[in-house]
C-alpha cells in the first residue's frame, strides 16, 4: 500500500495514520509506505518519554506536542519530509529489522545522489552525543549524514511481530532550531521531493512487488483515523 499525502497534517493526525498502518500490518498483513508533511512546527517525544517530564528549551515550549509510537529523543518536525514504513510479521525482513534501516536509508542516499547531493551512513555510534535534547543532535550508526551533520534519522516500533519504521529527512533548518541545518543550508540545493519519493518507491519495489495507492475516501479509513487521532491531541 502506498500513501503520498498531498496536504500537510497536524501531528495528531500524522501519528494516528502511522498507528493505523501498524494496525493494518498486524491485522491484515499489509505492507505500507507513506510520505507526509506537518502543517505546523510540532515536537514529537519518544514513546518512553514522559511528556510532562521532558525539559523543553524555551524556544520550543509553545509548540504542540505528540508522543510517537517509536522511542528515542525529541524531534522538531518542521521543514522536513517524513516517511513511515509498516511491515507485517510474516514478511521475510520481519526477523531482521535492522535491514529495514539500511534498505530505506540506502534508497534515500541514492535518490539524493541523483540530485547531486552526496550523503552517507554514519556507520559508527557517537555515544557522547546521545545526551542531546533534540534527536538530530544525537549520533546513531544508522543515521544518514551530510558532511558531519545528521540529515536523516529513523526509529522503529515492533508490535505483535509487525514493525513500524518512520523517519525524518531535514530539508531546511527550522527557525526554532537553527543549530540543526538542513540539506538546503548545507548544499545550497533544494531537494526535489517528488522525484525523491518516486525514486524511493521504485527502489523499494522488491519489498511489495506492486505498490497500490490507498483509497483514503473509504469511510472506514476516515472513521478509524479520527478515532485514533483523539489519543494524540
Single out the residue of 74, 64, 84, 5 nearest to residue 37, CA to CA: 5
**Residues contacting 108, CB < 8 A, separation 6+:** 119, 144, 152, 169, 196, 200
Q: Element (H or E) spanning 44, and its range?
A: strand 42-45
Which residue among the candidates 16, 25, 32, 135 is catalytic per the annotation? Answer: 135
Q: What is the Cβ-side half-sphere exposure of residue 47, based on CA atoms within 13 angstroms? A: 12
Is 233 annotated in the active site? no
Determine how β-strand 42-45 pairs with β-strand 65-67.
Answer: parallel
Q: For residues 136 and 122, give the distance between their C-alpha atoms in angstroms, rounded to a whole number.
A: 13
Cα angle value 79/85/90 (rounded, 5°) = 170
Q: DSSP string covering 104-168, please?
A: HHHHHHHHHHTTT---EE--S--GGGTT-SBGGGS--TT-EEETTEEEEEEEEEEETTEEEEEEE
Catalytic residues: 135
Amino acid at each position: 500500500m502506498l500513501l503520498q499525502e498531498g496536504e500537510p497534517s497536524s501531528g495528531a493526525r500524522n501519528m494516528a495514520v502511522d498507528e493505523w498502518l501498524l494496525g493494518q500490518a498486524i491485522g491484515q498483513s499489509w505492507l505500507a509506505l507513506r510520505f507526509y508533511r506537518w502543517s505546523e512546527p510540532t515536537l514529537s517525544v519518544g514513546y518512553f518519554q514522559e511528556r510532562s517530564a521532558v525539559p523543553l528549551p524555551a524556544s520550543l515550549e509553545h509548540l504542540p506536542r505528540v508522543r510517537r509510537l517509536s522511542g528515542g529523543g525529541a524531534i522538531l518536525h518542521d521543514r522536513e519530509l517524513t516517511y513511515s514504513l509498516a511491515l507485517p510479521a510474516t514478511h521475510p525482513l520481519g526477523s531482521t529489522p535492522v535491514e529495514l534501516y539500511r534498505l530505506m536509508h540506502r534508497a534515500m542516499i541514492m535518490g539524493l545522489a541523483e540530485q547531486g547531493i552526496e550523503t552517507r551512513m554514519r556507520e559508527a555510534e557517537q555515544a557522547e552525543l546521545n545526551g542531546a535534547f533534540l534527536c538530530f543532535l544525537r549520533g546513531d550508526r544508522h543515521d544518514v549524514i551530510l558532511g558531519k551533520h545528521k540529515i536523516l534519522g529513523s526509529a522503529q516500533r515492533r508490535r505483535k511481530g509487525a514493525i513500524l519504521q518512520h523517519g525524518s529527512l531535514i530539508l531546511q533548518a527550522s527557525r526554532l532550531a537553527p543549530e540543526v541545518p538542513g540539506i538546503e543550508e548545507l548544499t545550497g540545493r533544494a531537494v526535489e521531493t517528488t522525484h525523491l519519493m518516486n525514486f524511493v518507491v521504485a527502489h523499494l519495489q522488491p519489498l511489495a512487488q506492486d505498490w497500490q495507492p490507498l483509497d483514503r475516501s473509504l469511510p472506514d479509513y476516515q472513521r478509524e483515523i479520527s478515532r485514533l487521532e483523539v489519543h494524540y491531541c
